[in-house]
Structure 1
Amino acid sequence: MFREPLLTGRAFLVVEDEYLVALHLCREIEDAGARVVGPVSGIDDALRLLEEGAGDLDAALVDVNLHGAMSYAVADRLVELGLPFAFLTGYDCRSIPSRFGGVPCFTKPCRDRELLAFLAALPSGEPRDEERAE
């Protein structure tokens, strides 16, 4: 099915440990015109990618549970970088720590339209917090 690209020229980090879910997310994002960074399935890989190229990212989608480890270190780093993100989870979104209360959370299986609408609604090309300080 042909779709008007909603996310042309944008880049999104995908942090997801379930192969088929990651594949589907990447395909949907790319079909909407964006570039996917990753996907990565572990905390260390996600943190490494953030250190190497966070300035090129518009946002991230982060699975809460990565191979049995909670991805909150990745979320904390995204907050520090001022990079918007959303959690993805197969659990109840209310189980996420309150410090992430303002972060959108999508329960898997996610509705593609809702996820793409979230990504499309994010500001593009906005200066990050560290860029504003300079």
Structure 2
Amino acid sequence: MGASREKILETIQQYVDLVATGTSAEVVALYADGATVEDPVGSEVRTTAASIAEFYGALDGLEQTAKLLHVRIAGNEAAFAFELVTTAGDATYTLAPIDVMTFDDDARITSMRAFWSGEDLIAGP
């Protein structure tokens, strides 16, 4: 039957919030066993819990804010855009990727592919 639209939307909002202000362990807890992460698309696909945790570990301790911009859900899949702003000293770095995810019946993430490239990162004062 699949997860409800509401549960998937809740997972997406948690994901966006936790990427900005949570710990890598909290983000990884949103993933199902056997999940995959390809961020950005074209990079090596991470296929183990340890490699996914290592990937999100790079976010630990950063000063960030995030907001969900757009979401489209169809069945057990979703595409969404969000904006992530990282502050480092007096500089800010803004990235607005489009993520495509699939979900299991409990609305846990089974795959994530992030569409962005270096040209999409905006540095500001």
Q: TM-score normalised by the shorter chain: which range applies?
A: under 0.3
Between Structure 1 and Structure 2, the one with more strand by share is 2
TM-score, normalisation: structure 1: 0.26
